[in-house]
């Protein structure tokens, strides 16, 4: 299925004549050029998210199976058990099916949990089904999309049974630039400093204390990356990367399974980075790549990946994803539904890791010259583990780590602070109260992120058979952490223990044990008179720039094997 960044759920609000209208006002990005109105007979595909049952029970189940102090810890549900819990009511299914069939829509696929339907129909039928919608084709860099240029509505008999309709409005976010300016070298450190010319698997293993013996061996273990925005990796690049950088540890040089269809043309730097580093940190572990399946122009890639997870009974234990979008560009209802999808994964024992983003605290320009920080989703979801970024104090030596100024972090404006992190965040806010940005810039009661971090600066990547230096971003740190969690799962599985699943409740109970605390540096914020380009700053224990810090692998393994 397809990939992408976060895609919005369109809240339906009463408008008139028994219709419920989308409050999302679509805006076509300036870099997407309008090509044409679709002809009436042209086909498109829409995704209907049906209202689920027992969402609160699902959340409570996730809490119990993720809390190491619970008797239910690690007692995960099967896909069938998840389906039995959240499956839409018979009434919801009947109403939505009848509504579609009454418009002649019969070419539909559903998922095992029956809470998503994907239907193919003509433009003419789609616009009758969803009054107000008008589908056009847009193009950018040779890629075309079909989207509606106006809000849609749904009859009030149907709206109460739907969360949203996907495939209408959302355009993919721009890819982030994975290279950035380098920072100057720093002072003397207490660690033995080894000269290097960039981050490679050997440098990561040295910094995080992985030995040549720290490789996978369990037969039932696996890890995955998900690629969006038509990013592809090339098998030849992976083989070349491992021949250059993998000689000191046992590894695999091939991906075990590609879910979807690898596109032709050049490899993407993002995809190359993700695959090469999860497979060199989580070395010798079976790796899957979820990639674009030759998408229909009207599909929304991130949503397609989420739908796919609801339809596969056998999935890797760890997934790393390096994409996100601004919270304020998405509807709250969409994010709430995607959170439910994350919970569905968590109760099955799946660890979802998301990059915290490369814009620091971000900046949103409000009315009358006011600004606020700009949190990112899914990084701000309470039900994923979010990974920030660090740099070596001296960029050419293996020294201690400091904040990478691009590391995304902050406080959600949508989701309340989960109980598992309340004490840690409260301690941070009290400890640095005198130096915090003005409280008008962030929501002190929101879900705070990231949860942990790893090096995100100055990586070597092989892409299109060319070794490329200076590649940076939390897109690098996330698969590195994912690979280490996959190694820990490997040892747990060999001992007959369940996989780690949703890590955060256990991570926060460690209170920084087994991680290298990052206490220096600040990340980016708004360029204005009040904060002058500075967001939050690192501090002892948890902070909203690097979370609890970076992994000390042997100590983290020992802590998580208990």
Residues whose CB falls within 8 Å of the CB of residue 105, separated by 6 or more in sequence, listed in order = 119, 121, 125, 129
C-alpha–C-alpha distance, residues 174 and 325, integer Å: 9
Enumerate the β-bridge partners of residue 455. Answer: 390
| Cα dihedral 36→40→44→49 (10° resolution) | 110
Active site residues: 270, 274, 475
Do 115 and 52 form a contact (C-beta atoms < 8 A)? yes
- For residue 66, CA distances in Å to 70, 71, 72, 80 come to 8, 10, 8, 19
Angle (deg, nearest 10), helices 269-281 and 474-494: 30
Enumerate the β-bridge partners of residue 49. Answer: 116, 164
C-alpha–C-alpha distance, residues 553 and 558, integer Å: 9
Residue with tokens 């309470």: 382
Residue with tokens 């490997």: 490
As a whole number of angstroms, the longest Cα–Cα distance in the chain is: 73
The secondary structure of residue 78, as a DSSP letter, is: P
C-alpha–C-alpha distance, residues 366 and 440, integer Å: 11
- Rg from Cα positions in the chain: 23
SS (H, E, C) 490-521: HHHHHCCCCCCCCCHHHHHHHCCCCEECCCCC
Token pair, residue 417, equals 């602070």
Which ranges of 6-139 would DSSP assign to H, the alpha helix?
55-66, 79-86, 90-102, 123-129
E-strand ranges in 107-149 read: 108-110, 116-122, 135-140, 143-148
DSSP 210-229: --TT-S---TT-EEEEE--T
């Amino acid at each position: 299925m397809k990939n992408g960044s976060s895609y919005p759920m369109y809240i339906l609000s009463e408008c008139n004549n028994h219709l419920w209208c989308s409050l999302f006002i679509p805006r076509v990005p300036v870099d997407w050029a309008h090509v044409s109105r679709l002809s009436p007979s042209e086909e498109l595909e829409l995704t209907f998210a049906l209202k689920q049952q027992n969402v609160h029970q699902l959340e409570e189940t996730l809490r119990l199976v993720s809390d190491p102090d619970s008797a239910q810890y690690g007692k995960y549900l099967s896909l069938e058990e998840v389906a039995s819990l959240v499956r839409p009511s018979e009434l919801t299914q009947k109403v939505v099916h009848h509504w579609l069939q009454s418009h002649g829509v019969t070419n539909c696929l559903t998922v095992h949990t029956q809470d998503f339907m994907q239907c193919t129909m003509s433009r003419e039928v789609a616009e009758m089904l969803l009054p107000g919608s008008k589908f056009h084709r847009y193009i950018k860099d040779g890629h075309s999309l079909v989207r509606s240029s106006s809000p849609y509505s749904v009859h009030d008999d149907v709206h109460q049974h739907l969360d949203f309709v996907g495939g209408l409005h959302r355009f993919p976010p721009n890819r982030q630039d994975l290279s950035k300016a380098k920072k100057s070298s720093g002072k003397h450190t207490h660690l033995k400093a080894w000269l290097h010319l960039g981050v490679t698997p050997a440098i990561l293993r040295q910094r995080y204390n992985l030995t040549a013996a720290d490789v996978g061996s369990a037969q039932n273990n696996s890890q995955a990356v998900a690629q969006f925005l038509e990013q592809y990796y090339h098998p030849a690049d992976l083989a070349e990367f491992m021949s250059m950088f993998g000689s000191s540890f046992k590894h695999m040089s091939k991906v075990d399974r590609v879910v979807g269809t690898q596109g032709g043309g050049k490899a993407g730097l993002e995809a190359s980075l993700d695959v090469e580093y999860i497979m060199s940190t989580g070395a010798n572990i079976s790796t899957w790549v979820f990639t674009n399946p030759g998408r229909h122009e009207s599909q929304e890639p991130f949503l397609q990946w989420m739908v796919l997870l609801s339809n596969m009974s056998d999935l890797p234990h760890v997934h790393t994803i390096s994409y996100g979008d601004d919270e304020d560009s998405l509807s709250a209802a969409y994010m709430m539904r995607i959170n439910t999808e994350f919970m569905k994964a968590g109760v099955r024992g799946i660890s979802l890791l998301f990059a915290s983003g490369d814009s620091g605290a971000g900046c949103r320009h409000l009315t009358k010259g006011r600004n606020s920080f700009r949190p990112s989703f899914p990084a701000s979801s309470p039900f994923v583990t979010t990974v920030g970024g660090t740099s070596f104090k001296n960029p050419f030596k293996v020294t201690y780590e400091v904040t990478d100024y691009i590391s995304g972090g902050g406080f959600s404006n949508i989701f309340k602070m989960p109980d598992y992190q309340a004490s840690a965040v409260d301690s941070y806010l009290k400890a640095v109260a005198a130096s915090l940005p003005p409280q008008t810039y962030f929501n002190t009661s929101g879900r705070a992120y990231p949860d942990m971090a790893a090096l995100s600066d100055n990586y070597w990547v092989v892409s299109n058979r060319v070794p490329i230096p200076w590649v940076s971003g939390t897109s690098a740190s996330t698969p590195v952490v994912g690979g280490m969690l996959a190694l820990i799962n490997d040892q747990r599985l060999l001992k007959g223990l369940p996989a780690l699943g949703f890590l955060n409740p256990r991570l926060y109970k460690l209170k920084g044990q087994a991680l290298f605390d990052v206490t220096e540096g600040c990340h980016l914020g708004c360029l204005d008179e009040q904060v002058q380009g500075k967001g939050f700053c690192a501090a002892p224990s948890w902070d909203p720039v690097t979370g609890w810090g970076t992994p000390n692998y042997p100590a983290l393994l020992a802590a998580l094997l208990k």
